[in-house]
Amino acid sequence: MKKSVWFLCILIVLSMVLSACGAQATEAPAPAEKFRVAVVMPSAINDLAFSQSMYDALVRVQTEMGGPDAFEFVYSDGMFVVDDAAAAIRDYATQGYNLVIAHGSQYGSSLQEIAPDFPNTSFAWGTTVDTFGQPNIFAYEAASQEGGYINGVLAATLSQSKVIGVVGPIETGDAKLYVDGFKAGVAATDPSVQVNVNYIGSFSDVALASEAATTHISAGADVLTGTAQMVVGAIGKAEEADALWFGTQSNQTSLAPSIVVASQVYHWEVILNEMIGLIKSGTLGGRSFTANLANGGEVMEYNPDYALPADAKSLADKTVQGIIDGTIKISLP
Amino acid sequence: MIQDLFSVTVLIGILASGIRLATPYLYAAIGETFSQRSGVLNLGVEGQMLLGAFAAFYVSLRTGNLWLGLLTAMLVGAVMGLAMAYVTVNLQAQQGISGIGFYLFGLGMSDLLFQKLMPTVETIRGFPRIYIPGLSDIPGIGEIFFSQNILVYSAYLLVPVAWFVLNKTTLGLKIRAVGENPDAADSLGVSVARVRYFTIILGGTLSGIAGASLSIALLNVFQQNMTSGAGFIAVALVYFGAWRPIGVLGGALLFSMVNALQLWVQVLNIPIEPEIAVMMPYVLTILVLVATVSRVRAPSALTKPFEREN
Amino acid sequence: MAESTLAKKRTSWRIKLEPRLDEPPAWYPAMVSLGAVVVALILGGVMISVAGGDPFLSYAHIARASFGDIGVLSDTIVKATPIILTALACSVAFRMKLWNIGAEGQFIMGAWGASAIVLAPVLPAETSRWLFIPVMALAGIAAGAAWGFVPGYLKAKFNVNEIISSLMLNYIAISWVNYWVFAVWTEGGFQMSPKFPVGASLPRLSEYADSFPVLRGLTTHGGLLFGIAAAIILWFIVYRSRWGYEIRLIGDNPRAANYAGINIARNTILVMALSGALAGLGGMSEVAGVVRRLQTAPIAAGYGFTGIIVAWLAKLNPLVIILVSILFGALILAGREIQPSGIPKMIQGTILVCLIASDFFLRYRVRIVKGVEE
């Protein structure tokens, strides 16, 4: 038992030392008019995929609203452990942030339990449509099947070999929506085109994702797409083989300027602005939002360095219009 | 469907993928073979690989010089090896546990550097493929064996070199003696500490190259936690290969090819759940261990710190 | 150096290391460990500055985020609960020098086994908590034990190295759970099952907030009791039972144990299964107490490794594990506010290495002596 005593000593001394450091660094309370947002994200803010799309959107909102004095945001990234994330969400709520965003469908059940304890804080959960019927939870999602569909239409048009490869992480959520939309787009344009899908079972294994791309290329694919943060390796393989690439989540043109045709980019700021407006007028939740092509929450960004044939571009534009006005319905499995 | 698996395209694809995927395992596992043969289990390989991968990528990106990047990765690996050697040899810390510490350090530090130094994911032009004249034109074989990049070739070259060093040189004799019977080696005037320092630092250097082979030769990109457990697999491969470089080579190839096969199974629409397919390489590793383990024995002094009797 | 001198040539002062024969005073190990932590924090600070960050700000964050107020303290305990159980799992195996690094996979399988009771479903959703929780706990224990049994059996029968087989089984467990979550129990295609009914979840302090308002928002759950009970039982097994004596003897001196007629193969299998059972209980406590549904494998995400660290730092003592788990729970939890996310992992690693290295100073006495001897 002696040992337990000295471990307790360490615990106490350590916490005192750390708190002493902490005391001087505590910031002064923020002025009341400043809008404060905290966000919890599963991967790194610079992953060029799901997490970065939210980070970039927050930066844009901050610029629009007049900089850090009017709009402050903090983030916890790399939160792939759900109960770490839950603790972070609770902590941000305790610190009085106006809006706490849980940017990942896996955080849902945590949020459902935390939100009732902080009735004056607004929470947002994505990607989902479920607010749990609570008055202080907003839900948001991206209709990633829409951009997937456009990418699929273009991919089917541009493919010479009539074989297209898809690299996905795990068959779920945003990735599944995107892939299903993509397949629907291909099938609607040219049913003879074959789409091979490869879910590699990991969000982080860059090596396996790029080998999956190589496998698709060996199987005859000349157009590739993929979703989640580990596809950055696959894009390199596509470039090496001179196969075309379609991106999603963030604009991936910078990774391979010669072969990226288009990226579906999430502009969460459209939704964030709506939420912020509602919160300022006293509505803290209870609604769900979808980022889609019609409301500008999803934008097709084309690579200016890739010479997209004019007829393909006009087909894409027509399809975008069709989805917006509802003449094109995307049927998912 | 299932018969498509046996077409030439698929077989060549699996072999070529397997050869590439095995490269980082080879560097890391050969390095680990040296340290284990001298009696030190280094479980920090994953961390050394991650830091090596980042160092190589970042230096190459900023200077445009891949060789400088590779050198930095080796240096970073060696420094981590040096720290590991000090902790396990001088301070006689439990090796497996301190290895986990080095792993966490490398994982956290590479992540920290990645986020502080790079605004977003970037790509570079890595080591180009080298087409060996004549040989690379042979259909099938050429694509598999003779059109890879320099780090892939040298990984395979490392296997016979490691075999030669371990089995045919005085240095190899010393390493094996220190791993089997450090007391006897010590009484014959071999410095156990010095040999172990050498093998651990060598292991770290090779792990650094293993990381670099991913970030500046095979994938040409750095992403958070990009090695995704390859370092731990490399340690497993040393056991799998029964502490012999040739066995490690066999294990690395087998593991990589089963992984490549798993990718093809999905592409060919063979109705196996992807999650089940992903399990295959690991199940196979266990089965092979069971099948071969009765014939081999680990170095006797593995994981035991050395202390001279007074 | 293994040689007991680190002498500088041509000086008459030198540092001499000699094995410590007597038991050091009680304060000494604490000071050594504290010193190691301080050294680790300084090293970590240097690393943060090298990467262009501000170490003081990072440490201030850690302090505020782990011991700031009662809600945070409660979260720290929630985080410590699974670590207690995985660390107990590792400690009993390590005691016998079985290097089970598969607590991660055993934890995941425990979560799966417990979830199967709810989702299969074995028991209907309206079952009372008094029946649900014990059955789920048993299922979690059984699934974890099965996952620990495999490497134990392979070690005992075929002498397959348990480090490698338990490592491989981690990966298999992850794929196994992914399969069930996506292909069988998914809720709307997402990476999670439907939520468990109330009867299938461990009670939390916050549920009693109506009677005791101070408990509002506190998430500490019944799994903590499992952890504490398991620690106490394990302490009795290891230090007070004949089986525990056998385990310790095999660990300290397998040859003597063999001469004493102890069945090493049988104990290998039993201890690995016990180890797996403890980790499996941890998995059950996590799904029933925290997540309250089955999710993809990140439900474990490193508890197995953290368990190894904690078991080691607690010198394999089950009761000390509880305290160290809380310390580590705080440290890991603190990571949530620190940007970038790599800092807490890096600091954990540094602390672990420094603490393990500092054991050296418990075994050796460092003296500065004058004069030349040899």
Q: Select the CATH number that applies to the domain covering A33-142+268-291 from these four: 3.40.190.10, 3.40.50.300, 3.40.50.261, 3.40.50.2300.
A: 3.40.50.2300
The reply to whether B298 falls in a domain is no
Which residues touch C283 (CB under 8 Å, ≥6 apart)? Answer: C82, C106, C107, C108, C109, C110, C111, C112, C113, C114, C140, C143, C144, C299, C300
Per-residue model confidence as pLDDT tens digits over B237-280: 888 888 999 999 998 998 888 888 888 887 777 777 767 777 87
Interface partners of chain B (CB pairs < 8 Å, 3 or more) are A, C
A91 against A40, higher pLDDT: A40
**Residue B120 forms contact with C (CB below 8 Å):** no
Q: Domain residue spans in chain A?
A: 33-142+268-291, 144-265+298-325
Domains A33-142+268-291 and A144-265+298-325 share a fold: yes
Which residues in chain A are closer than 8 Å to C30, comparing Cβ atoms? Answer: 5-7, 9-10
Note whether B142 and B148 are within 8 A (CB).
no
**Residue C259 forms contact with A (CB below 8 Å):** no
> C65 and A82: CB-CB below 8 Å?
no
> C67 and A19: CB-CB below 8 Å?
yes
pTM of the model: 0.82
Split into its structural domains, chain B has a count of: 1
Handedness of CA A104, A109, A112, A117 (dihedral sign): negative
User: What value does the CA radius of gyration of chain B take, rounded to a whole number of Å?
Assistant: 20
Check pLDDT > 90 for residue B96: no
A323 against C15, higher pLDDT: A323
> Which of A82-96, A134-148, A265-279, C262-276 shows the lowest per-residue confidence on average (mean pLDDT)?
A82-96
Q: Is the peptide bond before A127 cis (omega within 30 degrees of 0)?
A: yes
* B218-225: average pLDDT: 85
**Residue B93 forms contact with C (CB below 8 Å):** yes
DSSP string, C251-287: HH-HHHHHHTT--HHHHHHHHHHHHHHHHHHHHHHHI
The interface predicted TM-score (ipTM) is 0.79
* B73-92: average pLDDT: 94
Q: Select the CATH number that applies to the domain covering A144-265+298-325 from these four: 3.40.190.10, 1.10.4190.10, 3.40.47.10, 3.40.50.2300.
A: 3.40.50.2300
The chain-wide mean pLDDT, for chain C, equals 83
* C151-172: average pLDDT: 88
Per-residue model confidence as pLDDT tens digits over C46-96: 888 887 778 887 777 777 766 666 777 788 888 899 999 999 999 999 999
**Angle, CA C20 vertex, CA C14 and CA C22 arms, to 5°:** 135
Of A48, A78, A207, the CB nearest to B21: A207
Using CB atoms within 10 Å of the CB of residue A325, give its burial: 0 to 12 exposed, 13 to 18 middle, 19+ buried.
Answer: exposed
- Predicted local distance difference test score (pLDDT) of residue C19: 76
Per-residue model confidence as pLDDT tens digits over B279-306: 877 888 788 778 876 677 778 888 788 8
- Predicted local distance difference test score (pLDDT) of residue B301: 83
Per-residue model confidence as pLDDT tens digits over B150-202: 999 999 999 999 999 999 999 999 999 999 999 999 999 999 999 999 999 99
Handedness of CA A126, A127, A133, A138 (dihedral sign): positive
Query: Structure tokens of B225?
Result: 């936690």
C2 against C125, higher pLDDT: C125
**Residue C57 forms contact with B (CB below 8 Å):** no
- Do strands A163-168 and A223-226 pair parallel, antiparallel, or not at all (unpaired)? parallel
C164 against A212, higher pLDDT: A212
Nearest to A179 by CA among B266, B178, C335: B266
Of A78, A79, A109, the CB nearest to C195: A109
- Predicted local distance difference test score (pLDDT) of residue A90: 84
Per-residue model confidence as pLDDT tens digits over B46-71: 999 999 999 999 999 999 999 999 99
The reply to whether B287 falls in a domain is no
Give the burial string for A98-132 (b: 16+ CB within 10 Å, else e): bbbbbbbbbbbbbbbbbbebbeebbbbbbbbebbb
Note whether B150 and B127 are within 8 A (CB).
yes
Query: Structure tokens of B2?
Result: 């299932």
Which residues in chain C are closer than 8 Å to A105, comparing Cβ atoms? Answer: 190-192
> B121 and A47: CB-CB below 8 Å?
yes
Check pLDDT > 60 for residue A16: no
Per-residue model confidence as pLDDT tens digits over C1-34: 444 444 445 556 666 777 777 777 777 777 887 7
**How remote is the C-alpha of A150 from its chain's centroid?**
18
* B16-34: average pLDDT: 93
> A19 and C324: CB-CB below 8 Å?
no
Of C75, C191, C302, the CB nearest to A87: C75
Query: Structure tokens of B241?
Result: 């290969």
Matching residue, tokens 């390989």: B45
Percent of chain A surpassing pLDDT 70: 90
> B112 and C348: CB-CB below 8 Å?
no
> B115 and C340: CB-CB below 8 Å?
yes
Amino acid at B18: G
Per-residue model confidence as pLDDT tens digits over C212-232: 877 777 778 889 999 999 999
Check pLDDT > 80 for residue A106: no
pLDDT bin (cut points 50, 70, 90) of residue C297 is low
The reply to whether B264 falls in a domain is no
Q: What are the backbone dihedrals phi and psi of residue C49, each rounded to the nearest 5 degrees, phi first?
A: -65, -40
DSSP string, B214-272: IIIIIS-B--TTTTTTHHHHHHHHHHHTTT-HHHHHHHHHHHHHHHHHHHHHHHTT-S-
Handedness of CA A242, A246, A248, A251 (dihedral sign): positive
Per-residue model confidence as pLDDT tens digits over C311-370: 877 878 999 999 989 888 887 777 666 666 677 778 878 887 887 788 788 777 777 776
Check pLDDT > 80 for residue A4: no
- Predicted local distance difference test score (pLDDT) of residue C190: 65
Note whether B93 and B36 are within 8 A (CB).
no
Which residues in chain A are closer than 8 Å to C344, comparing Cβ atoms? Answer: none
> C296 and A106: CB-CB below 8 Å?
yes
Distance separating the N- and C-terminal Cα atoms of chain A: 61
> C179 and B276: CB-CB below 8 Å?
yes
**Residue B171 forms contact with C (CB below 8 Å):** no
- Predicted local distance difference test score (pLDDT) of residue A272: 93
